Amino acid sequence: MSAVVLRNLRCLESPKALNALSSALFVELNEALKECEEDSEIGAIVLTGSDKAFAAGADIKEMASLTFAEAYSKNFIASWSFMSSLRTPVIAAVSGHALGGGCELAMMCDIIYATKTANFGQPEIKLGTIPGAGGSQRLTKAIGKSKAMELILTGNNYSGEQAEKDGLVAKAVEGGNKEVVDQALATAAKIASYSRVAVVAAKEVVNKSQDLGIREGVEYERRIFHALFGSQDQKIGMKAFAEKKKAEWSHS
Ligand code: CO8
């Protein structure tokens, strides 16, 4: 299996507006993610923007005149969270701005890599609103209540370097978009080289830790661990180890 980079989707090529996120962009992004998810040859995905911006947030011009009735009745931005339902691991490779919905989109991914100078933030408070795509929840889980509260209430930005120290970002790299994508691709290729069944299970149990208490989480993990004894790949992996051979995964 291989890894794939999603970039320069037609709608993400909106460099003038710094990849502002719109409903049209999410129709296209979700379609591309669905295609990747259904392609058995793709074992991991890298999502990126450009040197200047991963995404500068939801399109403020598109949202400016939206009414409560429209937002509520049409469940505005509900489909923007499709990313978080994927089974294939996704790495966000962030350079430049990742603000508002851009930061939230990165946090919906499974792993974030960023340049040291990347610019994260939840500036919605400056627009008279609040994060709407999970920012208040995921940022708080990632860096703790006090730091998340400070960032969300002030709208202050923070660098990729700081985000790595705080645990939001797994790796902060020197350089620009190319360097961060290279690093993300290397990790994606490594993930894609493992058993698809084990990767999906590992992603599922880590995600459960976000919703469950420690006791239920550990029990849940044990059930999935037990279930993997029913997979071909557990047999293949352990046999290959004993025989000092490279495992040839069946992905079943
Ligand atoms: N929406 C629409 N247009 C934007 C956005 C945006 N979020 N960000 C930048 N642009 C446009 C600017 O209006 C400008 O257009 P024009 O040339 O026509 O005037 C162009 O992009 C370039 O921007 P700047 O001239 O401002 O460039 P700078 O380099 O001076 O500044 C910044 C870059 C710091 C990124 C600045 O543009 C900025 O502060 N942008 C707004 C960031 C922001 O507030 N984002 C949060 C939006 S609210 C939100 O995301 C709610 C989340 C809802 C859920 C999302 C689900 C995933």
Q: What was the ipTM of the complex prediction?
A: 0.94
Q: For residue 34, what are the contacts with CB-CB under 8 A and spacing of at least 6?
A: 82
Residue 58 appears among annotated catalytic residues: yes
- What is the Å distance from ligand 1's center to 99 Cα? 8
What DSSP character marks residue 79? G
- What is the Å distance from ligand 1's center to 20 Cα? 6
Which residue's alpha carbon is nearest to atom 21 within ligand 1? Answer: 17
Predicted TM-score (pTM) of the model is 0.94
Task: Return the axis-axis angle of helices 196-208 and 214-227, rounded to nearest 10°.
Answer: 170
CA angle at 38 for the pair 231 and 220, rounded to the nearest 5°: 40
**C-beta pairs of 140-145 under 8 Å, 24+ apart in sequence:** 141/210, 142/107, 142/166, 142/167, 142/168, 143/167, 143/168
Q: At 138, give phi and psi (nearest 5°).
A: -70, -40
Whether ligand 1 lies within 6 angstroms of the CB of 20 is answered as yes
Q: Residues 58, 133, 163, 184: which is the catalytic one? A: 58
Per-residue pLDDT of the chain (252 residues; tens, 9 = 90+): 666 666 644 444 455 568 888 888 889 899 999 999 999 999 999 999 999 999 999 989 889 999 999 999 999 989 889 999 999 999 999 999 999 999 999 999 999 999 999 999 999 999 999 999 999 999 999 999 999 999 999 999 999 999 999 999 999 999 999 999 999 999 999 999 999 999 999 999 999 999 999 999 999 999 999 999 999 999 999 999 999 999 999 999
Q: Which atom of ligand 1 is nearest to the CA of 127?
A: 44
Q: Residues 49, 53, 92, 104: which is the catalytic one? A: 104
- What is the Å distance from ligand 1's center to 110 Cα? 25
Q: Which two tokens stand for residue 23?
A: 């409903």
Whether 179 and 115 have beta carbons less than 8 Å apart is answered as: yes
Three-class DSSP category at 99: strand
- What is the Å distance from ligand 1's center to 131 Cα? 15
Residue 104 appears among annotated catalytic residues: yes
Of 113, 122, 234, nearest to 176 by C-alpha is 113
Which residue's alpha carbon is nearest to atom 38 within ligand 1? Answer: 56
